[in-house]
Amino acid sequence: MAKLTFLIVLIALRLATSAPAPSNINVTESASAAHSSSSATLPVTTAAPSNSSVTKATSAAPSSAGSAALSVTTAGFASTNPNDILWNLTSPDSAPSPMRGSLGAPLLGPENIPLELENPDMFAPPTTDNGATGNSKWSFSLSPNRLQTGGWARQQNVASLPIATAMAGVNMRLEAGAIRELHWHSTAEWAYVLKGTTQITTVDGEGRNFIGSVKAGDIWYMPPGIPHSLQATGDDPDGSEFLLVFDDGAFSEDSTFLLTDWLDHVPAEVIAKNFQVDPSAFAHIPGKELYIFPSLVPSDDQQVPVSPQGTAPQSYTFPLSTYNATQLSGGSVKVVDSTIFPIATTIAVAEVTVEPGAMRELHWHPTMAMDEWDYFLEGTARVTVFASSSNARTFNYQAGDIGYIPTAMGHYVENTGNTTLRYLEIFSTDKFQDISLNQWLALTPPSLVKAHLNLDDETISKLSKTKPVVIG
């Protein structure tokens, strides 16, 4: 009987010492009680069963008095290995290779070297990339161009960039005097002039009219449904070129409401009755839409007819080019939203410059439906988009490219070149807002930050309680 009892106890002890820890357990083992509360601790990893998170702290690293022991999971620390861009646009054709360190293998099949040179972080992604976020890059160079007598237009919408559900873009060029005909659309229109001067006209629902000239670097805004026209002036002999952004990702430049297209589809007797004229008065209207067409250069002092209802109470244009920028350690920023451009109720902009070696800080935009549509004006950049659940992807951009970041996704914009990076952050909102990672951590209790990131007091003290925005 004694032997049986002994065997049972022995088996029980063996089972107790060999049993695996329960799945997903999170156990933290404190340092020895012999250490005082003010003693320094350094986290070290101990062996643990699969699928468990067991942590242990021991002495040696800085820690504030009375704080809890620092700890790390058995997953270990995040890698500090560099993930630099491996080549750039000026690299030789032999530079691109789908390899990073020991990962990947040389390409054996056909390749498009110009695209590989433009997209190093797509061809050889940083090791921090993981999962999928959706494609966040498009270039107008890949968009079909609609050529007209007097200019052209090319567009980006969800057909070319499916992730861009809240906004679409159009790049338009008008020769001097050329007109984008009188039209309207169900979406709002926001515009940034790239070169030259564009004269705009409009009449609102109250019969109040407006005329204005928009120079390079300036913007205009047209609310949904408001009729307007665009015409290149003679300020620049080449005319004008501009960027248009619409607050609907499904917008199509080929589906706007055009004056000539409408009247071509109204019976002649109805037109005569509407305007109370003889039918012959409208006998020579175009038999199809004009869209973009050549015309005489408008005079600098051109006026709209005097309206008995008066002129529009709010300006449809804003002089962004002369608006003072906020100077920052690594660049500058100009923000224009409805707080200073009241008529722009659905689209806001930040014009950002980033000096070589600097970056637009890690941040996100919190407002519901505040997607970000980026347009790169000068320089080169890389952006990593964090979509939660370990999904992150890095993209490279150059002048003429479009970037898109859905609401709340974390990101940064880094200058990867030797010249100033300048780009537009355009948002589907009335008021610009962002959350700075740096400021968030600085204004959170240090003990919480330490518990998450194992930072020491010196690092905590360097966190910024004001937004750096662009870091030099």
Chain segment 400-411, per-residue pLDDT in tens: 999 999 999 999
> How is the beta sheet containing 26-29 ordered, strand by strand?
26-29, 53-59, 41-44
Q: Please name each of the domains of the chain with its CATH number.
A: 41-77 (no CATH), 84-128 (no CATH), 141-318 (2.60.120.10), 324-471 (2.60.120.10)
Give per-residue pLDDT as tens, 294-329. Answer: 999 998 888 889 999 999 999 999 999 999 999 999
Q: Is 372 labelled as part of a ligand binding site?
A: yes
For residues 322, 323, 326, 331, the Cα torsion angle rounded to the nearest 10 degrees is -40
Q: Is 183 labelled as part of a ligand binding site?
A: yes
- Of 269 and 38, the structure prediction assigns the larger pLDDT to 269
Name the β-bridge partners of 202: 210, 228
Could you tell me whether strands 348-354 and 331-336 are parallel, antiparallel, or unpaired per DSSP bridges?
A: antiparallel
Q: What is the DSSP letter of 130?
A: B
For residues 19, 23, 26, 32, the Cα torsion angle rounded to the nearest 10 degrees is 10
Residues 6+ apart with CB under 8 A from 151: 172, 173, 174, 175, 178, 180, 232, 239, 292
Q: Is 289 labelled as part of a ligand binding site?
A: no
Name the β-bridge partners of 372: 405, 427
Taking residue 77's Cβ as centre, other Cβ atoms within 10 Å add up to 10
Q: Is 284 labelled as part of a ligand binding site?
A: no
pLDDT at 70 over 70: no
List the one residue out of 259, 190, 270 whose CA is nearest residue 227.
259
The answer to whether 70 and 447 have CB atoms below 8 angstroms apart is no
Give me the active site residues, please: 425
Span between the terminal Cα atoms of the chain, in Å: 80
Cα–Cα distances (Å) from 308 to 155, 204, 206, in that order, read 38, 13, 10
Average pLDDT across the chain, whole number? 88
Q: Is 265 labelled as part of a ligand binding site?
A: no
pLDDT at 384 over 80: yes
Q: Is 228 labelled as part of a ligand binding site?
A: yes
Give per-residue pLDDT as tens, 392-443. Answer: 999 999 999 999 999 999 999 999 999 999 999 999 999 999 999 999 999 9
Give per-residue pLDDT as tens, 227-272. Answer: 999 999 999 999 999 999 999 999 999 999 999 999 999 999 999 9
- Per-residue model confidence (pLDDT) at position 331: 99
Give per-residue pLDDT as tens, 106-164. Answer: 999 999 999 999 999 999 999 999 999 999 999 999 999 999 999 999 999 999 999 99
The answer to whether 246 and 187 have CB atoms below 8 angstroms apart is yes
3: confidence class by pLDDT, cuts 50, 70, 90 = very low
Q: Residues of the chain with pLDDT > 70: what percent?
A: 84
- Per-residue model confidence (pLDDT) at position 54: 34
The answer to whether 96 and 103 have CB atoms below 8 angstroms apart is no
